[in-house]
Amino acid sequence: MGNKPYIIELEKIGNPSLGYITVAEFQKNIPFEIKRVYYLYDIPSSAKRGGHAHKELQQVLIAISGSFDVVLKDGNSVKIITLNKPDKGLLINYNIWRELENFSSGAVCLVLASDIFKEEDYIRIYEDFLDSIE
C-alpha cells in the first residue's frame, strides 16, 4: 500500500490494579509535530466518516474508547484496520483515501494531525483522488 499506513505502539504506563496512562509524544512515538488535535464521538454505528484524502497532512488515529474500522485505499488495494485499543495508533500519511465506519457504542476517535485545518489540502472526491495518484 502506498505511503504504508501502520500501527504505532503508544507508551502504556500503569497496571491493572491502578489503571493506565498512555502517552503520545513528538519524536518518541509520533513521527510529526502535532499541530491539531480533535476527536469524533457520538457517531451512530451506521454512519461513515472521513471519505477523503490529504495532499500533505499526516494523521494518527486512536480509538480512545470503543472501536471502529478504518478503510484505507491507495488506488490499487483496500485495507481495513480495526482500532480498538487506546495504546495503539494508526499512522495515515498523505495520498491515502480513508473512511471510518462500524463505530461501536461509545466509540471515541482521537486524531493527532501534522497541520492546522486547510481546506485546500483535502481531496474530497474519490475520482479526483485516483487522478492525483496516477
Q: What pLDDT does 4 receive?
A: 86
78-131 tens-digit pLDDT: 999 999 999 999 999 999 999 999 999 999 999 999 999 999 999 999 999 999
Q: Given 1, 52, 99, 101, which residue is catalytic?
A: 52
Residue 29 in contact with residue 96, Cβ under 8 Å?
no
Contact 95, 53 (CB under 8 A): yes
pLDDT tens digits, 16-68: 999 999 999 999 999 999 999 999 999 999 999 999 999 999 999 999 999 99
52 belongs to the catalytic site: yes
Cell numbers standing for residue 106: 461509545
